[in-house]
Amino acid sequence: MTLQQLEYVIALDNYRHFVTAAEKCYVTQPTLTMQVKKLEDEIGVRLFDRNRKPLIPTAAGEKMIIKARQILREVEEMKAFVYNETEMLEGEYRLGIIPTISPYILPRFLPGFLTENPQTRLKITELQTDQIIDKLKNGMLDIAILSTPLNDKAIRTIPLYYEPFLLYLPDDHKLNRVENLTADMLNPEEILVLEEGHCFRDQALAICSTTLAGKRLNFEYDSGSIEALKGLVEKKLGYTLVPELSVGNRAGSVSAKRFSEPEPVREVSIVVHNSFTKEALIDRLHKSILEAIPDQFKKMKHYTRVKWR
């Protein structure tokens, strides 16, 4: 028994004529007749008295038609429910975002997103990547923006853009005079990185191919802020790697130097649990963010995605 067969039975009851019912169902009359006969054979009862003109249901057919109408009505209600569940954006959603992305992307896309979606309320929380993944799995977050890939089968990833890493260094540093900067020119002992737990730290160390960051410096500083590290660079206490979106307002005594191609980049993505159904929220966030980022992020051809897990 199929829903299609039930729809044919309802059409026959509505029009009491095989040819007309077939036309209304956009199938040939032999197809409709065959499927109704197949259903009758399966359930073991005749649904229509074919000797009557116009066609009429049998006693068993009348009961079957009542049930068929109920089933098809519930199916339509289910479709409406699924549509509302996936397409409607009204309500509050919990968004997690890592601290090395939030200050540079939220001001860009959030005003426009909220203006275009006034019935959507976002409750935004800054968390580290592992915390976000745990909360997505436990149902404590709905959606997140972070750096990928994650390689977690329970998590769905929707890539947004690829953001280059830049070297943030004092103007008078010798690396500023290098024409084609490559990662192997960096001295791990001079580089400032974030504290453990931040994916950006792991990405920076992966670019440098080391775990010995900042060993030449005579201080230790556990920071979760890229802006704090930039402030130290501005005081000539080493150099650091920064995401390109963070260098819009740099001090006059520092430079943000690009690497030669293929540039190292971080992949920034929307992530959700595999069970998340609000496709409209994903689509609207995706659209709003892409409209807010620099065009060159969308046109990059030669880059190396930095893996960190």
* Each residue's pLDDT tens digit, 232-243: 888 888 888 899
Q: Identical fold at 91-154+270-295 and 162-264? A: yes
Scan for tokens 């990547």, then name that residue.
129
| Whole-number Å distance between alpha carbons of 188 and 210 | 7
- Spans of all domains in the chain: 3-87, 91-154+270-295, 162-264
* Partners of residue 169 on adjacent β-strands: 255
Question: Backbone phi, then psi, for 200, in 5-degree steps?
Answer: -65, -35
What's the predicted TM-score (pTM) here? 0.71
Q: Cis before residue 149, ω within 30 degrees of 0? A: yes
pLDDT digits (tens, 9 = 90+) for 110-123: 999 999 998 899 99
DSSP string covering 118-132: TTEEEEEEE--HHHH
CATH number 3.40.190.10 given to 162-264: yes
CATH superfamily of 91-154+270-295: Periplasmic binding protein-like II (3.40.190.10)
Structure confidence by residue, pLDDT tens digits, 48-66 = 998 888 889 999 999 999 9
CATH dotted code for 3-87? 1.10.10.10
Q: Is the pLDDT of residue 155 over 90?
A: yes
**What pLDDT, in 10s, does the model give residues 195-234?**
776 777 788 778 877 665 656 566 666 667 888 888 888 8
Q: Write down the pLDDT at residue 277.
A: 82
pLDDT of 203 reads 84
CA distances from 120 to 82, 114, 126, 133, 282 (A): 18, 7, 19, 23, 13
Mean pLDDT of 295-308: 76
